[in-house]
Amino acid sequence: MILRSSLAAAVAFGALAAASSAHAQSADPACDGLTALRLANTRIDAAIAVKSGDRQPIEAFGLPSLTASTAYCRVSVTLTPVPGSEIHSEIWLPTPAAWNGKFAAMGNAGFGGALGPPRLSMRPALSRGYAVAGTDMGHTEAGADGKNASWALNQPERIIDFGHRANHVTAVAAKALVEAYYGRRPDRSYFQGCSDGGREALMAAQRYPDDFDGIVAGAPANAWTHLMASFAWSWKAAHQSADSMLKAPNLARIQAAALAACDDLDGVRDGVIEDPRICRFDPATIRCDVDATDGCLTAPQLDALKALYAGPRRGVTGASLFPGFSPGGEAVRNGWDLWITDAAAQQPDFARSFFANFVFNDADWRLDQFDFDKDFDRAQAAMAGILDSDNPDMSAFRASGGKLLMYHGWSDAALPAEGTIRYFEAVRGAMGAEAVDDFARLFMVPAMGHCFGGPGPNTFDMLGELDAWVEGAPAPERIVASKYANDLAQLLNMPAGQPQSTRPLCAYPKVARWKGEGATTDEANFECVVQTPRAND
């Protein structure tokens, strides 16, 4: 994940000091009294009444503290379910008058290690009346950038906490605190997460099917061991040889060529490919010996690009281990440069740290040692049962009455979007399409990057849609996404003005198509239609 800045930590410390001062004059004795609550394997470290307008520490991605939009009771807890486990979590409780009667837990990001990422999702849900919670996943990461797994070296209980236990015990403690503060249990409980939070979301559905009534899983890193092999593959393709490295001009040229070939397949030329699976873009057309325009590809660069599109393969049989990346989003902001191609790209760091600390227990292990046969199999044997949430049998969650909404951006440069389709199809294959339709929907988001951002409409209310479905509304078949001038403002629950455009997200396998008349910036002028992937193959 993007590095947090030291400035953010300093500002957050100041906010905590201010909050502690306000605690001395607290007008919420029920909040104060929570410190006396006794729960098994739980230490309540603090319960602080936060007023609307107080500064709220985020401590994620270099962000400063932000203004609290509503009053709440901020509870900090340490959970110790087994020896060797120490999980730090926060539960935010809106005032009784503002509470909507529901609870929503938020997922973390990367390898976890800090409470900052969950807080970003806790803020908007809190402002809508939900009691909310988040956890650091059972460890404090040095540097708190989300991609360092040194904490896992020879630490099996911490690995289990990260794999699945931290969110479960946090949900149990949070529901007890909700009951103590409001005098009753929540009417509904939800989980929402993206990236590793999406893996956590599916883990909750598969391993703890009674914890939540509804779950949102965005860009799920659920096939974790496969994904780490994918990250190792990206390093091998784009970094092992200096000749294969793709620079910014190459990415711009690749994206421009992909858009020229496929942008208007949905009837609208707008810089967005609705479904890259039917894109017939041939990257050999921008090879330097064919067209030497700036950004053209040398033979090694073309091989690297083809490898990234294809995804990781076994060394002996060539069998696919995970899908590759989709064309059309190579040069978007914080895209392939951040995750794959730059010298400081994040995928290689994640892969090296994972295999060194989780699998080989060797802090000096190097990525160039990875074998896509025996080392992948070793990672699967050691860690898939703890970390991977790709079990296609979700019958227990369905039987519990749970509802699941999944989404993934097609221009995600961190986690290949087709990995989520592959998993959703596996669930349909294992349980039957009609059974899956009873409790689950997948929405693919054209041109959206990793969890947010991108040139197309990428802001939508999955938690609201899920809540309505759980409460008895029809299953969502069409969700409106909006494009704002400042996508980040929306993410941070700050004023963002009116959307520049809207577009429907259609329940998989349908896609949006312009009707042929009316503004192409208005979702009302699009319909959801069935499309056969990879036509003409």
Contact at 8 Å (CB) between 271 and 345?
A: no
Structure tokens at 61: 């991605």
Q: What's the half-sphere exposure (Cβ side, CA atoms, 13 Å) at 233?
A: 31
Catalytic residue among 189, 263, 450, 487, which? 450
21 catalytic, yes or no? no
Rounded distance, CA 446 to CA 453, Å?
11
Using CB atoms within 10 A of its CB, is residue 94 exposed (0-12), middle (13-18) or buried (19+)?
buried
Contact 286, 305 (CB under 8 A): no
- Residues 6+ away with beta carbon under 8 Å from 420: 219, 220, 406, 408, 442, 444
Residue 87, strand partner residues = 79
Cα separation of 353 and 147, whole Å? 7
Reported as type and span, the H/E element at residue 421 is helix 417-431
State whether residue 429 is helix, strand or coil. helix
412 annotated active-site: yes
CA distances from 341 to 209, 239, 332, 405, 414 (A): 39, 7, 13, 31, 11
Whether 441 contacts 508, CB under 8 Å: yes
Return the number of other C-beta atoms located less than 10 Å from residue 66's C-beta. 18
Hey, what are 33's tokens?
């009294």
Catalytic pick among 85, 189, 195, 326: 195
291 is catalytic: no
CB contact at 8 A, 332 and 325: no
Task: Write out the two tokens for 354.
Answer: 């994972």
Whether the Cβ atoms of residue 420 and residue 406 lie closer than 8 Å to each other: yes
User: 337, 412, 467, 487: which one is catalytic?
Assistant: 412
- Cα radius of gyration rounded to whole Å, the chain: 23
- Active-site positions? 195, 412, 450
